[in-house]
Structures are given as structure tokens and as C-alpha cells.
Structure 1
Amino acid sequence: MSSGGYKPVVNTVRHSITTVSKRKRSSISEPSNNHEPVVVHRPHTSLAPPGSSRKPSKSSRRRRRVRKERSSSSVDRQWVFSASNFRNLKDKLVLVSYNLLGVDNASNHMDLYYNILPQHLDWSRRKHLICKEISRYNATILCLQEVDRFDDLDSLLKNRGFQGVHKRRTGEASDGCSIFWKEKLFKLLHHEEIEFDRFGMRNNVAQLCVLEMNCEDPESKLCMQSSEQTCTSPRRLVVGNIHVLFNPKRGDIKLGQVRLLLEKAYKLSQEWGNIPVAIAGDLNSTPNSAIYDFVASADLDTRLHDRRQISGQSELDTKRSPFRNQHAVSASQTNEWSQEELQLATGGQATTHVRHQLMLNSAYAGVPGTLRTRDQCGEPLATTCHSRFQGTVDYIWHTKELVPVRVLETLPTDVLRRTGGLPSEKWGSDHLAIACELAFMGEGC
């Protein structure tokens, strides 16, 4: 799936987690000069008579949950570098993909956030957390999903030097997709939108932008050319952004949406001189799914898969424990597809194969990570976490003209579990942002 391959690396990232005793109240002092947290335990005093048992009060349980969350939220995310030395490549960009958790989506699905403190779902707070987080990563291109307060974001990100375009979902939904870029570093050459309902594939949308590095900006660190050089081949790339349909049972539509985006991205790349392509977004599909395999291998035989299981998502079953992620296929299920379903998935009337012409690699699978945060494919173990699901559905893909210099590790799954779900005190969405630094191969500006 990636030319870099996946090699587990242990202890690549150091996490410092301060734990609080369940039986004793703890007072955590300021870290010492060697940055090691010092934990001082105070003796436990009980007001209950000896031998009696008393359940903790609601306020006590809430304080304990808050302390646990703060301890988990204190873990920082780290950048890890590729095993290949791409640091000396001069033309680089930092791409961030982030599902922001639409305000309306959150309020319409409160069962997913029943154990989240109300203030952590407040958009007036979350939007500032999200923008500050983006600034920490020194992002230059943003692919955002579930954006239903674009004006708020646009105003905040403009203050940070970004310019952006937005496409709202069709139908009654209020959220959509947005692409932003650093105005000093890039200029927009072309922008187009995909409304999937025009192809009979629900109200989801996708975006495609052709961006060019601004070699005329003297402050740009992306194009470090001498004054004698001329810019004969400006760096350009196609950026695709998508939020795929959630419904696990409609694998035909999900597959069709991904196929259509990749088809149009390839066409744009050819029209602009066979330029590189980067695809990001929420595919609502797991790394062990057929949809993931389709993106990575460029070919999928629908006859080998049940459309209800093609995204690898678990069925939401309230009787099962939180964070349970199942991918087993029932023996009673069949792989039969109707002609209409095949047409949506493949785009043709006389084929059972789905194909695309882009040779894509996963940015995360191309950079070795730690066993605490990565699966066997090299993808994050989890990019989203709420009361009903913990797993990976967000990705960044790129063609061979781009190489991943480094990627931003996600949080270990045990840390995510201790938060009780996202958003939290530190993280502003129920998804974690994924980010990578990509470099252009070959000659350019």
C-alpha cells in the first residue's frame, strides 16, 4: 500500500501520563526541572463509621471523572519522521485533515456524548480549541469535514493567514466540507465541487482544488530559490476533500462516492499537466475494509464482498459495550448486488469491478509508528472516539510525486478510553486531526 511499508517501532514516542490513585485523593505538584511529575498522596479520611460502606456522591464521581480526563488530556501528540531522509527536500507542505463534529450533528446525536461535559460540546469553546490546535501543527493546507459554522471558522482562520472555500451538503443537512490554505504560500488556480445526489448517491459532497505554491512570496519557506533562478515549473497539486456517507449498509453508495472523487481528481491532475494529488477526509471506512483496499490497490471485485460490510464498520448495538469494534461477516449474508447497486458502485452497467487510475499511498502507512498508536497496516488505531465507536475512519492519501516527511501520531487507545470519549478539555472534536508533512519529489521552483 505504500512504498515505505510499515515497520513497528517501539518507544518512538514518549508519553508522560500522570495517574491518580482510585482510593486516595492526590495532589499533583508542579513538575520539577527534570520534567518528571511528582505525585504526593494525602492520607484518606472517611467520615463514614468504621465497617460501613458508602457510595461516592454524584459530585465526587464528577470530580473524579474530571481529574481522570485532565490526566488523559495532558498527553501531547508527537511528530514521527519517515525512515527515509526526506528532510532536505525543500518544497514541503503540512496537510491537516479534521472532522470538526458539526454543531447540529452533535445536538441531534446526544446519545453518543452522554458522558461528555456540556461545556466540552460548546461550539463557542470548541472553535478556539480547534484553531489553536491547527496553529500548533503549522498547517499550510486544511481539509475539514462536518463544517456547519463556516463563517466562524473563516473569520478565525483568516486571522491566521488562511483563505478557504466551502461546500455545504445538499438536502436538509447544514454541514459540509471546507478546504483552507495559507494565502502567502499558495494561490487557488481551480476549484470544483461534487454533489453526489446528482449521481443518485445521497446528499454528501466533496471538493477538489488545484493549488500552486507562491514562489513570488519572499517570506515563503516553501520555495527557497536564489535570486538568479527563474520559476520554470511551479509546484502545483490537486487537493481532494471528502466526507463519505456513514450508513454501513449502503456500501454501494459509499464505494461510488470514493470512486467518483478519485476519477475527478485523476482527470484534474491530467488537465493540469499530470500534477501530484493528495486526498484527505473521513471515508467512514476502517483500514481492514474493502473500501480501504480499493483506494490502495485501485481495483475491487464487488462479487467478493457484501455491500453491507464493505466499509468494515461495526453495527451500532446498544447492548454491546462501548468502544467495541466488530468486523465479522455473518455466514448467512450473501454477496449479491442489484444492477442499480452495481451501477452506483462501479459507474458502469456491464462490470462488477471498481477501478481508479491514481496510484495512491497512505501517508501514515508510509511512516513507521509505535505499537500503541498504529495497526498492522500502519494506520492509526483510532482517529475518532465516542460512546459507541472507537476506531479509524480518517485518512490522507498521496501520489508518488509526494512523499511523507513526517506524520502526527494520534493518541494511544488506552488514553482515549480514559477520557470517556471526545470532545474533551483539550480536544475540540470527537475526531482527532490527522496531519502529515508532504514534500515534492524531483525538480521544481
Structure 2
Amino acid sequence: MSASAPADPHAHAAPLVPGPARGLGDASPGPVSRGYPGTEALSSAFTATDYRQALEDSNAGGRPLSLALRLPFCQHACYHCMRHPVLTTDRRRADAYLSRLDREMVLLGRHLGSRREVRGLHWGGGSPTFLTLNQMGDLIDRLDARFRLARGRDRDFGIEIDPRDADVLTLRHLEALGFNRLTLSVLDLDARVLQAINRPQSRGLTEQLLDEADRLGFRSLDMELTIGLPLQSREGFAATLEQILAMAPARLTLFPYLHRPERFPPQRHIPAGDLPGTEAQGAMRRAAHDRLVDAGYVHLGWDRYARQGGSLKDARAQWRRQAECDILGLGVGALSRLEGAWARNASGLADFEAALDDGGLPTATGRWLSRDDRLRAQAIEALMTRETLDLEALGQAFAIDAAAELATALDRLQAIGLVTRRGQRLDLVAPGTRWAGELTRAFGVASP
């Protein structure tokens, strides 16, 4: 084992929360390590050897699996993009990538028991709908050959969709392949905003896909909106939100736009002067939260909402199932979140391909989860999803003085007005009106 592993070779395989966690969020709908420690905390000292050991530990635990595939290709150069897509209109380029994904599946399978069921599947991008229908079918066949894909109704198989790259035939094909959840990247419906980010799309496209998804019986459709885009205003975004609410999606997710042109070159097309200021973004976030609550949506935490009734029940049940799974990332830049470690693949396509062509896993960075990581992850998850944290119960779960261990983070949380404290109890201030990243950063972690 490499020097980056803990001194105790089994320490990283301990349960995420040692012992019972009464009052900590045992009914929490999401996995404890959802946002902590974050990808920027990962280190290149964690190698493919470490990842193989983490997989062996995961296999010994026998938890169900969830597969997160990254399909990096996209034919549109959107200026706001906060990923590193491979821009091309040649869909044949995906063939070689799918073959390498299959090679990665084979390498992973050597460390996994054949009876571990894959209960979750997520295709992200780039734009997964860049693939042709035949390529989508081929990829599902490869996954089915290498893993034990769940067949039951409780499987959670989702895919991100760019409305410009999909139509009703696409949705029918996805439903036939076994997908039962969709994420629709809408961003905004204001034509000026969409033009400013080089992403023209009509409301009609979105409505058509939503109607067809409902007709086909997809279990959920999550619409993603982004706050902070160029030329956005509080009035304009409010108008977009009203149009979205008229479509009555089961779920909604709000994302903050992060302007980092030095890291994401397409953003250099966006003049900084066109961006709404911090105060304006905050006002849009608060107004959006209030309007969603008024419209019957419940804030789940992590900037996500579900409509009251069956949609809310379904969302919470899905998140509980996710919490039971180890997540395996496949593809360039994909992130794996196991019970004892995080690992991330090479983010450059050439490096990803070279590692697999040499017969090795494409692991680039990672991190063994320490007790401190677990402690902070549990605290963050409780605050995000239950809006309160019992420090005494947290300390009992870890057999420590949680208030003392987290003293610096707690002082920071109170100083920036994120929480109020009464003795051993923390309460989130104005839940749903601040971004999740603010909370994770307050614990000393850069958001991914």
C-alpha cells in the first residue's frame, strides 16, 4: 500500500459514521459524503494502487453500487460551461471512447464481486445525448455485460439531457433502455441570457420533452436552472421561474454560475460587466426559494427541491437508496465516492486514454477519508438536509467532543451568519436562501 494510506490498513474501511447516530440525520435523504471533502481536496499522492485497495475494501463491505458515467462530448460551445467538454460534431469519435469505457469496466470488475447489484446509474456530460441511439444501446449492453444491473422498479437510472440534442424519439429510446429518471438542463428561458451564453433554445423544446417524459412514465424529471448568468436580472429570472412552474416539474435544482475564465476558457467570451453582482445574485436566490416554497415545493438541501406529494416522497426514497450505495465513477474526470475513499479519474482525455491503453486504471487523484473528514461530512449533511445539528449527538457518535473538534468551523459559520447556536444545537439561518458551497467552504473545504 502506498504511503498515502492510513497507518492502520483497515482504518479507511470503517463505517462512515461509527456507531448509532441518533439525532444526526439518520433519516437524511442523501449520502453523508455528498459534498465533503470536495474534489479540490483530492491529492495526486493517492494512486491507482490506493484506489484498487479502496475497491477491495468496498467489495468486502458488499454495499450496492451506483455507476456515474461521464460522457464528455458536446457539439455546442456554451460560454457559461463549467466543465471541460470535448467539442465535436463527429459522433464517430465516441466509438473509441466507449471501447475504453468498456476496458475500464473490465479493470474495475476484477476488484468487485459479481453479485453486487447496480441500483443506480447516471450518465452525465458533456452531453450524453450527443451519442447516437445505437451508441446509447451499445453502452447499455456493455454495462449489462460487465455489471449486475438492477431490474426492479426501485432502480434509479438517470441521464442528463440537453433539450437541443433530444426529441421524443430520444426519450422513447431511453425508456426502452431502462432509464427512469431525467435531468433537463434548462438554465434560463430568457432569450437575451441564452444568447449571451451561446445557448439558444426555445421553451417549446422543454415543454415537448417534459410532456413526453410524463406520457412515457419516467419516475422523475429534474429541471436545472442557473443563477448568476450574464444579463440576468431579478425580474427576468422571476419570469423564467413562473414559466417553469407552469410546467409543474417533479423536481427543480438551482445552481450558481461560477465565473472562472482562467480555468474555463469559453467563459472568456462573457464580459465581466454583464454578470449580475453578488447582491443581485443573492436576491435572485432568495426570491426563487420563496417562490418555490409558495408554489408547493420543499427544499431538500443541496440546492434541490421536490414538489409536495408523491414527488417529494419519491425524492427522499431515492436519496436514501443512494446513501446505501458505493458510487463508482467511469470515464474521463469521473469521481468515485466509496465508503472509505474518494478517487477521481484523469480529467484530460489524452491522459485518460493513455492510462487505459497501458493496462491501468486512470486514477489521477484521491483521498482516504479520515475521521475528521467523516465528522465534518456528517455535520454538513445534517445542516444541509435537516437544517439543524445536535453537537452532543455528533460527539457521542464519534466518541469525541464535537464542539471542540469543530470549534474553528463553528466560529466561522456564526461569523458569516450561516447558523445560530444555542448550547449544543446549531440551526441553519434562512434555509434554502444560501448556496450549499458556502456551507462546505465554511468547514474549510473548497467546493467542487
Structure showing greater Rg: 1
Q: What TM-score, normalized to structure 1?
A: 0.34
Judging by fraction of residues, say which structure has more strand: 1
Judging by fraction of residues, say which structure has more helix: 2
